[in-house]
Amino acid sequence: MGMVDVTEKPVVRRQAEAVGRIHLAPETVRKIAEGEIKKGDPFLVTEVAAMNAAKQTHLLIPHCHQIPLDTVTVGFELIDDGVEVRCLVRAQARTGVEMEALVGVTIALNTLWDMVKYLEKDGQGQYPATSITDIRVIRKEKGGEND
């Protein structure tokens, strides 16, 4: 077993985009929109966390190859019950970057939770309404074609 040998595969442009959601209380969404989060701008911190995570995917998932990434782009959309996060990863590589996109979006969502957890806790310190859902790859391309 071990890592898949990609030596003979050509280096081509590859990209993948992943998306996920964090469901939050309406008051938390309002405070995000109005810039009232105690730890600072959650989107700025979350963007940096997602970029770092995507670049370190090979350290987190044992069979992933170390891929020099050309770009990691993170986007956010406030929705009625939370935030949708997207992570696009692009590289010139012998293997795909969908795991990097998934790790990026997952860490972005976890970081966002950390930034607002003080608002989400109930009286017992639990998170009854907070959840991370719908994490998935929505697009994967190889050499400009869908792979």
Say how far residue 88 (Cα) sits from the centre of its chain: 9
Band (144; pLDDT cuts 50, 70, 90): low
State how far the alpha carbon of 142 is from the alpha carbons of 14, 18, 116, 128, 146, in Å: 5, 15, 37, 41, 6
Question: Is pLDDT above 80 for 143?
Answer: yes
Q: Residue 40, SS3?
A: coil
- Would you say 84 and 132 are in contact if contact means Cβ atoms under 8 Å apart? no
Handedness of CA 82, 87, 56, 7 (dihedral sign): positive
Instruction: Return the residue matching tokens 């869908």.
Output: 146
Q: How far apart are CA 108 and CA 120, in angstroms?
A: 17
Q: Residue 93, SS3?
A: strand
Annotated active-site positions, please?
Answer: 114
Residues 40-98 have pLDDT tens digits of 999 999 999 999 999 999 999 999 999 999 999 999 999 999 999 999 999 999 988 99
Band (146; pLDDT cuts 50, 70, 90): low
Q: Write the single-letter amino acid at 131.
A: S
Q: What is the mean pLDDT of residues 104-127?
A: 97
Question: Could you give the domains of the chain?
Answer: 24-142 (3.30.70.640)
